[in-house]
A = this chain, B = another copy of it.
Amino acid sequence: VSEARKPTVGDLGEFPLIARLQRRFDRKAEGVVRGIGDDTAVLRPRAGWVLLATTDVTVEDIHFRRATIPPDVLGRRALAVNLSDIASMGGEPKWALVSLGLPSDLPVEYVDQLAAGLTEAADQFGAAIVGGNLATSPDRITIDVTLLGEVEPGRALYRNGARPGDRVLVTGFLGDSAAGFEILQGSLHIPGSVGDDLVGRHLSPTPRVEAGRAIAKSGGASAMIDLSDGLASDLGHILEESRVGAVVDANHIPLSNALREAAGAIGRHPLDWATRGGEDYELLLTAPPRSVASVIDAVRAVGVAITEIGEITATNEEWLIRPDGMRVPLRGTLWHHFSTP
């Protein structure tokens, strides 16, 4: 009964909802000449820097289920996946446009919490929501975020800069998000705080904005990408764009204690998630040997873990050295074939 009384998007109507979101998103922010409320946002880019632009959509029933993520967490996550793209270029996030597709029976309260999450993530990483669009969506929520950022022209880190001999490094721990996703989907049962940790890592990824800036400013990296599709797939993008190969040592892939515990509990190899699972939103980068130490120092100085996991080669092969010492193709490696003899 009380659910039925909650005012919905359809009850409120388009213009009152825009006005409501405008008040919520309105912030004093650097370089914003005009934010939400005119035909376009008007922004003042920093002289001499280049502009970064990325867009990433979050669609209900494809990227999330309403039952398994609270609206404020969903809002933070929708911005985080875009922040991660700016981070992977070494840039500073600046201005976001948020395009919401909302079913008309969605409670206004839900939209308020979604907006609160978006605002929170923007504030945390120094970005401002300066524009957007509202549309009725027939039955599913869609959140399309375009994020603009800036970077010094010589500091932008592309996918195509890796050279033979460069080392491969990664921030944080890999595979937690993929395991958390399986728990959320109900296909994996890991009770207690270990399960909660993994689910939290899936729902609330931390975009590595500070680490990305530290890496760019160190001047020591040669290529960078964020891990959205998984280590095998995303390293593949760097290798293809750079026309090089790589050998990754599985023993060095950073695994969290939670992932090790979950894997142990069900007799599965944690590297299954860590090499093929996506949505970690960690940074994967390459650096020539002479600058590896300075890159590592720069990332650790902002409190983020970073690990050397392999080396770029001149061939177009992609190998993974397994814990048993065997070389196997990096893409297509099936860990459960390895771990369950």
Contact = CB atoms under 8 A, between A and B. Distances in A.
Interface of A: 33-34, 37-45, 47, 50-57, 59, 61-63, 85-86, 88-89, 91, 95, 97-99, 101, 130-133, 135-138, 140, 142, 144, 146, 148-149, 151, 153, 156, 158-160, 224-226, 241
A315 B99 CA distance: 35
Contact of A51 (B44, B59, B98, B159): B44
A140 B85 CA distance: 26
A53 B39 contact: no
Given A53-B146, A97-B146, 9 more contacts: A38-B241, A39-B159, A39-B225, A40-B89, A42-B51, A44-B51, A59-B137, A99-B146, A144-B144
Nearest to A61: B138
Contacts of A59: 101, 135-138
A39 B101 CA distance: 24
Nearest to A100: B57
26 contacts: A33-B153, A34-B156, A38-B89, A39-B54, A39-B88, A39-B225, A40-B53, A40-B91, A41-B52, A41-B54, A42-B50, A42-B52, A53-B130, A53-B146, A54-B97, A55-B97, A55-B144, A56-B99, A56-B133, A57-B135, A59-B136, A62-B137, A63-B135, A99-B144, A142-B144, A144-B144
